[in-house]
Amino acid sequence: SALRRLTYVARLSPEKRPDWLIEIWRNLKAPGQILGTGLMKESLEEIAANVKVCITFAGFVSDPWNQIQEGDLLIVPSSSEGDGLVVIEGLKANVPMLISDIPEFRHFNLPEVNYCKDVSAFVDRASQFQQNLVALIVPESIKDKILKARSPQAVGDAWETFLKTI
């Protein structure tokens, strides 16, 4: 499917780099939606208005994945992460995504095409695949391996093994 909208799902705080979104959207001249709230909300709304970018600030949404539609591209520009839950949930929902090239995301071993080092890389990659977002959906084999490692069974087995060492 073709790019229709850029989507961000996360807290609006500096380590998530939501300010990159404005630049990405401005360069691509694509509408955007922000699902999340936080300290940077007012400043982002002000910047978006000043640069005349069409961004919907939805605030907190209990199930953001219900808001994702065909033609949406998930942008995850974090500078650092704990677990990368948004990436995991995006994988599970089969959402096309571009994510920061940071060590915390590299451990997922996604295809190289999904990683972006900076704003211009996000812009270039989104432009390159704007008529073929399906190419930015992580392949089933990779997705299944990541999700299986996080299944209740796998987590329970890991805890059982750990507790036996105590």
Q: Are strands 5-9 and 72-76 parallel, antiparallel or unpaired?
A: parallel
Nearest to 63 by CA among 83, 84, 92, 39: 92
Contact 102, 37 (CB under 8 A): no
Cα 80 from Cα 4, distance rounded (Å):
27
Contact 32, 7 (CB under 8 A): yes
pTM of the predicted protein model? 0.90
In the three-class reduction of DSSP (H, G, I as helix; E, B as strand; rest coil), residue 116 is classed as strand
Query: Sorting pLDDT into bands at 50, 70 and 90, what band is 153?
Result: confident
Cα 84 from Cα 99, distance rounded (Å):
10
Structure confidence by residue, pLDDT tens digits, 52-97: 888 999 999 999 999 999 999 999 999 999 889 999 999 999 999 9
Cα 101 from Cα 83, distance rounded (Å):
15
pLDDT at 155 over 80: no
pLDDT at 9 over 70: yes
In the chain, DSSP assigns E strands to 5-9, 32-35, 55-59, 72-76, 97-100, 115-116
Per-residue model confidence (pLDDT) at position 118: 97
- Percent pLDDT > 90 in the chain is 74
Per-residue model confidence (pLDDT) at position 80: 93
Sign of CA dihedral 28, 29, 34, 37: positive
Per-residue model confidence (pLDDT) at position 29: 86
Per-residue model confidence (pLDDT) at position 30: 87
Per-residue model confidence (pLDDT) at position 154: 67
Buried b (16+ CB within 10 A) or exposed e, 25-46: bbbbebebbbbbbbebbeebee
Cα 43 from Cα 103, distance rounded (Å):
28
- Percent pLDDT > 70 in the chain is 98
Q: What is the mean pLDDT of the chain?
A: 92
Q: Backbone phi, then psi, for 57, in 5-degree steps?
A: -100, 100
